[in-house]
Structure 1
Amino acid sequence: MNTTTTTSGSGPATPRRVGFAGLGHMGSAMAARLLEAGYDVTVWSRTRSKVDELAERGATPGDGPEDAIATGMLFSMLSDEDAVRQVVTPERLRAAPEGFIHVNHATISPGAAGEFAAAAAESGHGYVSAPVVGRPDAVVAGRLTILASGEPRARAAVSPMLDAMGRRVWDFGPQAPSAVVAKISVNYMIVHALQALAESITLLERHGLDGERFVELINDSVFPGPVYGGYGRAIAAGAYTPPGFTSRLGLKDLMLALGAAEDAKVPLPTGPVLREVFEAAVEQVGADLDWACVAEVTRRRAAGDQDSGKNPG
């Protein structure tokens, strides 16, 4: 592998040169954590300003995905599996250095994870599924949760970098699709939480009660934590920018859950209802607002499609 290494005492050499592709809110924060941990990070994104921002913090700017891949260890946080296919192409895999490992942080379908792992193995390379649980502020604070699965040697090789980016890495074994199934399941639960908050807060509001006080109540008793707290406050205030995760991406992940359930012949009774609500949010509320904006679908319907009194955004 074409890397710069350092050693600590009599311990093994640790690769210090890595690549990172995809510098949205999450990717930029994760690449910054690697920089803070002392790694030489070559960064690439379709948005050049994102590359320049990290270059000012010490990253090596890449002109294309090839530059990040050439480091021998690529971490990517791309929007979906089609974006991964466009960046980590068969041609680029064949040109990658010996021992190359791709760590894919995107939430994708189990089938795509198997596809990418097989393509990497065919070229003699490693592949690790490593979707994450947490928003950009969790990355910055060192509270990111990472789920990992893939060939054991590849997972061991990238373990120090994952540790640098997250609070805890959960090992889901040798099969590349396993971690993405776990992540899809997490997001399916969050989708339910968003709709539950939307319905409960709307019910309160229609009875003249204070939604923000209700969120304070549940976080002080039965539902403490970032989902019911952070998203609850956003819904109560009708504040959905800046987005930590957009409604468009939320719909994408919901469809991944429904697809995985169909493949496994698992009935999800609430799935079609949630799909209809998320599709309405994307089309009628804002595809690029935070996915908590799905609450406005319930609010508007409760108000008879009249102004609910909130101003999303």
Structure 2
Amino acid sequence: MIKAFLGMGLLGSNFVKAMLGKGDAVQVWNRTTSKAKALEQYGAKVFDNAEQAAEGADIIHVTLKDDATVDEVLDAASKGFKEGAVIFDHTTTSVKGAVQRTSYWKDKGFIYQHAPVFMGPQNALESTGFMLVSGNQSVIEKYEPILSAMTGKLLNFGAREGKAAGIKLSGNLFLLSLTAGLADALALAKVHGIQPSELLFLFNNWNLGAMVPARLKKITDAAFNEPSWELNMARKDAGLMLSAAKEGGTALAVIPSIAAVMDAWIAKGHGNDDWSVIAKDSL
């Protein structure tokens, strides 16, 4: 089986290294040719354009920037697609784009399967991390061995096309929020003369990540009348954070918006509810 891989960024190039290490024949292309050429030493066949890279390939993998880039590259590469070729797109894209491409390539006689990932470059090299799929379950079942070999765990979210794209974006939203929250925590710690290493010591012992499933369950169960931390008290703490940051001449990115949402829910009479009531409208 011949594979093509289009897009040799950090993720794509390490996917290719892992494939080559397992004995796969891989044809590669990248807009910046030097990134593709760097894989020749590992056994990749490098081509100057996407069409040539796709010629004769049974499977075409894609890791690109966005919807527009995926559409542009696949359109160019399609001139070299063999009959019945399968496209696996690991790009983080819009739900709409994933759905439209599934239909578009099906009409042209090809299988397009969106398979975004929660994987960094090292995960791609080690075949660890998580890959997400949804859509045609017959297609997913048939190609599950190929996709599973690329990742630590393949998560199948059912028959609805585009759902994997939506879950990927939701997960990335949480990662962005987490990083912004950590930036606020570091900024507030700095105001109080606390070193980043001391904050790391706290989180190494108090594992907030382990609390996420329980917190999400509390929100989805809508158990807001059983508070473990009342909204009024959480808002008081947010006020302390904002005051300390202002006195220290530091701007916080996340807390001002959270405080505003808290104020709105308190005004609606939810001050004595669990503070997670601020997520109620998201259900």
Normalised TM-score (structure 2): 0.70
The structure that has the greater radius of gyration is 2
Does the alignment pair 1:195 with 2:180?
A: yes
Decide whether aligned partners of structure 1 residues 37 and 175 sit closer, same or farther in structure 2, where only a CA change above 3 A counts.
Answer: farther
Cα distance, 1:142 vs structure 2: 3.0
**Partners of 2:166 and 2:140 in 1: how far apart?**
17
Equivalent residue letter for 2:147: L
Decide whether aligned partners of structure 1 residues 28 and 95 sit closer, same or farther in structure 2, where only a CA change above 3 A counts.
Answer: closer
Deviations 1:238-286, CA, capped at 9 Å, x for gaps? xxxxxxxxxxxxxxxxxxxxxxxxxxxxxxxxxxxxxxxxxxxxxxxxx
**Partners of 1:166 and 1:192 in 2: how far apart?**
25
Q: Which residues of 2 match residues 1-313 of structure 1 at below 5 A?
A: 16-70=1-55, 71-89=57-75, 92-93=77-78, 96-223=81-208, 303=249
SS of the counterpart of 1:127?
strand
Which runs of no fewer than 5 residues in structure 1 stay unpaired?
Answer: 1-15, 226-298, 306-313
**Partners of 1:66 and 1:219 in 2: how far apart?**
49
**Partners of 2:108 and 2:135 in 1: how far apart?**
16
Percent sequence identity over aligned pairs: 26
**Partners of 2:52 and 2:161 in 1: how far apart?**
25
Cα distance, 1:86 vs structure 2: 0.9
Equivalent residue letter for 2:117: V
Deviations 1:38-68, CA, capped at 9 Å, x for gaps? 2101011011111111111011112211133
Which runs of no fewer than 5 residues in structure 2 stay unpaired?
Answer: 211-244, 252-283
Provide the aligned length of Structure 1 versus Structure 2: 216
Cα distance, 1:220 vs structure 2: 2.6
Asked whether the equivalents of residues 12 and 63 of structure 2 are also in contact (C-alpha less than 8 Å), the reply is yes
Cα distance, 1:302 vs structure 2: 6.2
Two-structure CA RMSD over aligned residues (Å) = 2.3
Normalised TM-score (structure 1): 0.64
**Partners of 2:37 and 2:187 in 1: how far apart?**
43
Asked whether the equivalents of residues 52 and 61 of structure 1 are also in contact (C-alpha less than 8 Å), the reply is yes
Query: Which stretches of structure 1, 4 residues or longer, exceed 3 Å deviation after superposition?
Result: 91-95, 299-305
Decide whether aligned partners of structure 1 residues 302 and 127 sit closer, same or farther in structure 2, where only a CA change above 3 A counts.
Answer: farther
Equivalent residue letter for 1:21: L
